[in-house]
Amino acid sequence: MVVPSVGYGAPGWVRVIGRALYKTDMFEEFFNTLEGENPKSEPIRGWRSFTSIAISHARVTVRIENHEFTVQADRGGVVDERIEVDLEPGIHEVYMQVPGSKPAKTTVYIVPPEQKIGVISDVDDTVMVTALPRPMLAAWNSFVLNEHARTPTPGMAVLMDRIHRAHPQAPFMYLSTGAWNVTPTLRRFLSRNAYPKGTFLLTDWGPTPDRWFRSGSQHKVESLKRLAAEFPDMKWILIGDDGQRDPDIYNGFAVRYPQNVAAILIRNLTLGESVLASGRVWGDKRAQQITTGDLWMEANDGATLLARLKEVGLL
């Protein structure tokens, strides 16, 4: 089967994202339940999302309107391809399929050339409370807790909704160090809590050929660099928290690409979260100077950040 994700693009190209998996009974039950195809009422534990078995280097057929392409998944079964095709701005249906499977449906959003504001948001402790810096609790949240027990971060859904209303054509990117395995769970969580629909930019779970643990920071830095190259005229509202390295990563992005920053919003962890968190790491303060101070905003909740955005005219 293919588990597809929402893609994005611009006139002349699209980026399609998905994952090719063997159709095990356990994962199919998990996936169908999350997609509403199975009315089963029993809570689904997070560990089931990691029972999938990837199809390494699978050949995947991608159909977009009257166009058909064949792409190849990577070693982890992930399809992440830029396809040269010219589509009108707006939402287009995409079908992805491996031999012997039913086509899986998703969409791509072609960003209009005149759209100059976009949103990039962290996930853990920014849109949902996961306490990721605390390893044992993070493991509990990822592997044991069912999706309905996950808690949205106070005020952040309203903040994102207001941004979406002010900029209805803005692309939303959810950039996380989380694994591709949790894509169905994340999609359901964001939808249930009224977050705007967007693209997940996740990473593989497990070791790489040259290291035991993947670098979450490197994944975020490379993703931001790619978005800056793909949308050179776009100014991004960057949203994160100070529990890990978001301030430092966004700081570096603003230093390198000051023309691509509309605002940087940092959700401050509570005192209890901060005590057990890994803490913020700063490189330098140049980003705050580049964004003229007013565009670097920090608060404990989304409501305060919303008020700050109104003050600078972004809403």
pLDDT tens sequence across 214-252: 556 889 999 999 999 999 999 999 999 887 788 889 989
Helix (H, G, I), strand (E, B) or coil at 261: strand
**Whole-angstrom Cα distance, residue 179 to residue 54?**
13
- 197 pLDDT exceeds 80? yes
Domain boundary among 55, 87, 110: 110
160 and 67 share a domain?
no
How many domains, in total, are found in the chain? 2
134 and 154 share a domain?
yes
Predicted local confidence at residue 220, as pLDDT: 93
209 and 68 share a domain?
no
162 and 25 share a domain?
no
Average pLDDT over residues 46-54: 61
pTM value is 0.83
Domain boundary among 67, 90, 110: 110
89 and 162 share a domain?
no
**Whole-angstrom Cα distance, residue 265 to residue 256?**
18
Q: Tokens 């950039």 identify what position?
A: 175
**CATH assignment at residue 58:** 2.60.40.10
101 and 146 share a domain?
no
Average pLDDT over residues 161-174: 97
Residue 133 · residue 244 · CB < 8 Å: yes
- 139 pLDDT exceeds 90? no
The token pair that represents 204 in the structure block? 């593989």
Q: Percentages helix, strand, coil for the chain, rounded to the nearest 5?
A: 30, 30, 35
- State the greatest distance between any 2 C-alpha atoms of the chain, in Å, as a whole number: 55
- 312 pLDDT exceeds 70? yes
Query: What are the two backbone dihedrals, phi and then psi, of residue 253, each rounded to the nearest 5 degrees?
Result: -65, -40
Helix (H, G, I), strand (E, B) or coil at 212: coil
Task: Report the Cα 278 to chain-centroid distance in Å.
Answer: 22
* Domain extent at residue 32: 2-110
105 and 123 share a domain?
no
125 and 274 share a domain?
yes
106 and 128 share a domain?
no
Average pLDDT over residues 74-87: 94
51 and 180 share a domain?
no
137 burial via Cβ count (<10 Å: 0-12, 13-18, 19+) = middle
The token pair that represents 22 in the structure block? 């063997």
